[in-house]
Structure 1
Amino acid sequence: MTVTTNASDLVAVSVAGRVANPGFSALPAEPYRLTAEGKAFLWPTFGGIVYNVSVGDSAFGWSGDCVHPSVSIAHPDANKNRGLNIFACVGNRATVTSGAAKGVTGTVTGKSGRFSDQVIVHFDRATRQKIAVDDQIMIAAEGVGMTLADHPGIAFKSLAPALFDKLPKTVENGVLKMGVVATVPPHMVGAGAGLTSEGGSLHIQSTDRAELARHGLDKLRLGDVVAIADTDSRYNHGYLRGAMSIGIVGQTDGPRAGYGPGMTVVMTAPDGQLSSYEAAANIADILELSA
């Protein structure tokens, strides 16, 4: 179904970052983290080039803590990194501009990091073998400022217009309904709720595995489109009865309390202006991203 956006009026602008090395804080001195049960662990976490986890793979089962699939980028200048995180949108084209993989293109698939400080970019596995930490990647950023004339109450966040056009959707009684794999109840929204809604991610709390399964969230794949009930993300994130947000699963599960698969919010609206229905909806399939 065609829903008309103001895509022809949007500004496409370049933003860039370097392939980010995984890091640990200077303090505490020990690198260990704690599971929800208080057990110390040391697993790979976000950042770097991840050679064997891709969009379309399961969001669960990895011996990692909120791992970003494929490649994570950030700009070393904090202000410029803020621009990268705000303007990059899921579905944007990314081009390697230095190193052995120079000229190869990929696709933005999410935003995350400890404080909304990294952008996640998909490249096929052969390309990942050529990319190095600190290689520069430029994004043709387009999507910020997107609106729908017939649905002015819906706000877009970090979504490329070309991807929006391809997402499953319908309109019923004036309400835009997006096709989603599952719906996240508000009590399962965890880490990220206190950060900006213009970047970063909201985590699905996954400590309670029975509750996860009850809502059909235990089989999520990276790249799945999900609804987030009673969540208003127009200006940061907050609980609002009747509101809805739409997110895309961008990173894997993790064992810490309050964490789980991370979602990049791409649409949001209060008061029942946005709804959902169950559908096969994964951006690896929709954008035909090669592993």
Structure 2
Amino acid sequence: MSIQTNAADIVTVSVMGQVANPSLSGLPAEPYRLDADGKAFLWPTFGGIVYNVTVGDSAFGWAGDCIHPSVSISHRDANKNRGLNVFACVGNEALITSGAAKGARGVVTGKSGRFSDQVIIHFDVETRRKIAVDDQILVKAEGVGLTVDDCPDVAIKSLSTSLFDALPKKLEDGVLKVGVVATVPPHFVGAGAGLTSEGGSLHIQSTDRAALAEHGLDKLRLGDVVAIQDTDSRYNHGYLRGAMSIGIVGQTDGPRAGYGPGMTVVMTAPAGQLGSFDAPGTNIADILELSA
């Protein structure tokens, strides 16, 4: 049965950002962070052009702190950056408009940052080698305002209409069910809780590796589609018994307490209107046919 949406009414608009340089705050002067055991570490973190981490790769094992695969963009003007982060959706087309890689096309794969700072875009490795920090990237933003006709209580977030159509899903007794590779229990939800759900990421706490393995979360890959139990992300991310959200893993693990693979929430509902079913291997690298 076809699942009907208002896709024909969705407005498509341009937003733009620049390839972001990784940054460290000036104060405190030390660049070190603390891991869950209080030990200082200095690893690459989010931002910039990442040449060797790609959607489809493992979300664990990298010597990095919440790394964004491929390329991260932002806008120097805070208000324009907010527009970029709110309107860009996973699955949107991106176009490089300046620099040596001008004309190359990519795909939005996630959002990240404490206050929705950056948009994550996939480009193949050959294109990445041509991109420079500050190159301009245009995103054909489409997806905000998407609704499902028979499931008005399901809120669609940061999801392009084409990716929504391509995700494994079914409608049963008024419940929209999405195919996922794993389910994240609510006590794993860490950084991002309490913040807006229109951008940014929600992290899977990963300090307790044995618990991760018990729930099949230790093998997650970047781009995996997951369910998040008892999590209401209609406005801000928060605990609500019976709620559910669907997320796409967009960032790698990190050693800090409260952090782990970051998820971009793409669907949410407060009281049983959204469900999931096991669909091993469901990953946007395959669904969107992203080249390495």
Distance in structure 1 (CA, Å) of the matches to 2:42 and 2:113: 17
1:92 and 2:92 are equivalent in the alignment: yes
Which runs of 5 or more residues in structure 1 are unaligned? none
- What is the match of residue 287 of structure 2? 286
Contact 1:93-1:108 within 8 A present in 2 as well: yes
Q: Can you list the C-alpha shifts for 1:86-126, whole angstroms capped at 9, x where unaligned?
A: 00000000000000000110000000023210000000000
- What is the match of residue 260 of structure 2? 260
1:8-23 equivalences under 5 Å are 8-23=8-23
- What is the match of residue 138 of structure 2? 138
TM-score (norm 1): 0.99
- What is the match of residue 128 of structure 1? 128
- What is the match of residue 115 of structure 1? 115
1:64 and 2:41 are equivalent in the alignment: no
- What is the match of residue 200 of structure 2? 200
Residue 3 of structure 1 deviates from its aligned partner by: 1.2
Contact 1:204-1:262 within 8 A present in 2 as well: yes
Distance in structure 2 (CA, Å) of the matches to 1:114 and 1:266: 17
Contact 1:47-1:113 within 8 A present in 2 as well: no
Letter in 2 for 1:57: D
Distance in structure 1 (CA, Å) of the matches to 2:216 and 2:167: 20
Distance in structure 2 (CA, Å) of the matches to 1:225 and 1:139: 22
Letter in 2 for 1:89: C
- What is the match of residue 156 of structure 2? 156
1:171 and 2:171 are equivalent in the alignment: yes
Letter in 2 for 1:77: D
- What is the match of residue 29 of structure 1? 29
Q: Can you list the C-alpha shifts for 1:126-168, whole angstroms capped at 9, x where unaligned?
A: 0000000000000000000000111000001100000000000
TM-score (norm 2): 0.99
Letter in 2 for 1:213: A
Distance in structure 1 (CA, Å) of the matches to 2:135 and 2:119: 14
Distance in structure 2 (CA, Å) of the matches to 1:10 and 1:286: 22
- What is the match of residue 244 of structure 2? 244
Residue 194 of structure 1 deviates from its aligned partner by: 2.3
Distance in structure 2 (CA, Å) of the matches to 1:281 and 1:178: 10
Distance in structure 1 (CA, Å) of the matches to 2:26 and 2:44: 17
RMSD: 0.7
Letter in 2 for 1:289: L
Contact 1:147-1:154 within 8 A present in 2 as well: yes
Which runs of 5 or more residues in structure 2 are unaligned? none
Distance in structure 1 (CA, Å) of the matches to 2:270 and 2:88: 24
- What is the match of residue 47 of structure 2? 47
Distance in structure 2 (CA, Å) of the matches to 1:163 and 1:17: 22
Secondary structure at the residue paired with 1:251? Answer: coil
Distance in structure 2 (CA, Å) of the matches to 1:52 and 1:252: 12
Runs of 4+ in 1 over 4 A off after TM superposition: none
Secondary structure at the residue paired with 2:170? Answer: strand
Residue 26 of structure 1 deviates from its aligned partner by: 1.2
Task: Figure out how many residues of one structure are paired with residues of the other and give that number.
Answer: 291
Letter in 1 for 2:24: F
Distance in structure 2 (CA, Å) of the matches to 1:235 and 1:68: 24
Distance in structure 2 (CA, Å) of the matches to 1:57 and 1:17: 25
Residue 174 of structure 1 deviates from its aligned partner by: 1.6
Contact 1:91-1:159 within 8 A present in 2 as well: yes
Contact 1:116-1:195 within 8 A present in 2 as well: no
Residue 59 of structure 1 deviates from its aligned partner by: 0.1
- Percent identical residues: 80
Contact 1:90-1:107 within 8 A present in 2 as well: yes
Distance in structure 2 (CA, Å) of the matches to 1:117 and 1:195: 12
